[in-house]
Chain A
């Protein structure tokens, strides 16, 4: 078999692997102030995504809270600080804690980022992008293999779309993502709001950028609102979802075999009722494109 056939074979294998993942529907990034209302309105939220780093070393009270949530919802753990892009390697102790939490939750998949949050003793509060280089691909591959050995549950990776572009790029983002996602059959977690916010960095056309991504790997989509600041859209997750993001979400759902869509809301948390209609609208988009019933 030549190299091209190998690549096709590997891609088919990965696509099949991802196709077997369940269709979760539309969920919400869990925030503690939503707790009481969520328990009352379970039927309107298909799953919860948790900021999983905050539940490592959980106190008994938090473990009990997580147990309660897991009784009522499918929980998808979303990590930020395992730092799969760290060239200094994974923190083995942290990985063990991540593995223990994922095993306990038994989710359909878990997620991290194609970026790094840890370097030289400094922890970033949001993943920084990697240079699109062979070295960075090698780092991601090494760390993904280590993580996949510790955690057999399917892994999906969120791309970090940012204006921060490293000098010395050796490939375009699409090739970079394909190389990274090929390791261990990882799926893609696509943040359409992030894409919308960073449109100016790729010529102002997020749809064109979307078309260059490996959309057959998209398992989950993140979407959220934001605000305008100095003529730029900032994906602060603090306001309602703007129309441009809805359009991009629909475009992505139409093209990608998504299994789930998740709304992220951080700042200015409104009562849950005010965000449920956004979940319903996303659910309708998925239904329209036959991603779920």
Chain B
């Protein structure tokens, strides 16, 4: 039973930075407070740097999955994507965080709510991120209808990205992106208007 408590503690240490700092300030006391009796002294000997390295590995894996889920946004934002993700990852991981796709949609919500298009370069990158997140909703979460109004010209951006690089240009015209699925199986139908 002691291992149950130890794993609970380690899982919290890995996902909650404030709790981690509190623990390493007073490990034995916090372990005891969390209900650990026999193993408290042992866990108090956890090496802070080793745990931090593991937390960094968790973040690296999460970032990698995010790059797979949002490949175009990752490519366009480059290191800025990584910087924004690090800010996003500072927040405690919600208990029972679901699949990668839900995490990626949460990250795009964060980009939209916390970062905003004014701090992202190029300015149309947030529209691209929202487009990729909407596609995830349609394909991975199985929504029957997904509609997004995006302030940039997504079609030409996708075409240029498929060729490898976006040339300078004006992409300021809005796009209505729609995914719709009937009752059948297969990929949803998709329109950019």
Contact = CB atoms under 8 A, between A and B. Distances in A.
Interface residues of B, number: 53
Nearest to B141: A59
A22 B6 CA distance: 39
Given A86-B7, A167-B42, A234-B60, A269 B54 contact: no
B58 A126 contact: yes
B45 interface: yes
Given A136-B3, A167-B43, A269-B68, A124 B58 contact: yes
A238 B64 contact: yes
A168 B42 contact: yes
A119 interface: yes
A61 B101 CA distance: 15
A139 B11 contact: no
Contact of A119 (B8, B53, B71): B8
12 contacts: A32-B68, A33-B71, A61-B185, A64-B187, A86-B7, A119-B7, A120-B8, A124-B11, A133-B3, A135-B3, A164-B54, A167-B43
Interface of B: 1-4, 6-8, 10-12, 14-15, 39, 42-43, 45-47, 50-51, 53-54, 56-58, 60-65, 67-68, 71, 74, 93, 95-97, 99-101, 103, 139-142, 181, 184-188
Given A87-B6, A118-B11, A238-B67, 20 more contacts: A33-B68, A54-B140, A61-B181, A61-B186, A62-B142, A119-B11, A122-B8, A122-B12, A123-B95, A123-B97, A125-B93, A126-B57, A128-B14, A131-B6, A136-B3, A163-B54, A235-B60, A236-B63, A267-B67, A267-B74
